[in-house]
Amino acid sequence: MSTIQIVTDSTAYITKEFAKENNIDIVPLSVFFENETMPEAFPGEFAEFYTRLKDSKDFPQTSQPSVQAFMTVFQKAVDEGKEVVALTISSKLSGTFNSASLAAKEVAPDKITVIDSLMAGPCLRFLTERALQLAKEGKSRAEIEEAVNAKRSYSKALFAVGTLDYLKKGGRLSNAQHFIGTLLNIKPVIELTDGVLLPAGKARGKSKAVEMVKDGIPASVSKISIVHILNIGEAQKFRDELKEAYPNAEFSIDELGPVIGSHLGPMAIGVCVEWQA
């Protein structure tokens, strides 16, 4: 058994089953929606939230885990005689890294390493799985940190939205941009790279936007997660198409939860990819 406890947050969207099988601790971010605060759930548990989101005039607000939430997880691991490697959502998107870092200082700074993944979603999961494998191989915290930091520059995410409504509700589009974009059927493509969400381009119609997503996949890709929100049919079709183009890549289909997915909205689709140096 590894003497290093792997910890990450809910935006890695690791399934409850995988976390349990591999003893990964998941610290959830929180979602405030329709006067209710709830921890972000696990994949397979998002449908009810998105169904409510489609019918609601309210827009969710998200918040990072508290310092105490991380302290509780870290202290348990230290009390069991373990060291800790914790990987968090990009510090440029959330204060989660800061909460984890403060918790590490309070509990045992000489036994806990906190890594800013500069990512979210399955890209964060890829790095967490890498850390887990290295821990199982008996690597030290320093070796795991070095390997993860070296790999995080070789990943990115690209998303195409089904509607502009959620970008508008989340404050990323003005009323005028929403009106004109909807009128002209313009679909933006959004990229997460180096820790920041940025516009990567726009296309007339969703099918062309999805083509832009495909064009953004590096030739040396080794892992491809097709990510979606209430859009499994299109995700499966896109996976089959990409398997023909990248037969040597490792594939998965993954749901995006409320913290990331609320800004994209139901019917969004995209990819999280990792490639070789």
pTM over 0.85: yes
Same domain, 47 and 175: no
Crossing angle of helices 232-245/206-215, nearest 10°? 40
Q: Provide the number of structural domains found in the chain.
A: 2
Q: Domain boundary at 152, 183, 201, which?
A: 152
Residue 233 belongs to domain spanning:
155-275
Same domain, 79 and 209: no
pLDDT at residue 232 is higher than 60: yes
Look up the CATH number of the domain holding residue 50.
3.40.50.10170
Cβ distance 124 to 87 under 8 Å?
A: yes
Same domain, 30 and 148: yes
Same domain, 51 and 123: yes
Same domain, 109 and 220: no
Q: Domain boundary at 117, 133, 152, which?
A: 152
Q: What is the pLDDT of residues 150-203, one digit of tens each?
A: 999 999 999 998 766 666 566 555 554 543 555 456 688 889 988 888 888 888
Same domain, 129 and 169: no
HSE at residue 188, side-chain half, CA atoms within 13 A, is 21
Same domain, 132 and 19: yes
Q: What is the pLDDT of residues 38-95, one digit of tens each?
A: 999 999 999 999 999 988 889 999 999 999 999 999 999 999 999 999 999 999 999 9
Same domain, 95 and 212: no
Residue 143 tokens, joined? 């070796």
Same domain, 41 and 93: yes
- 31, β-bridge pairs: 38, 62
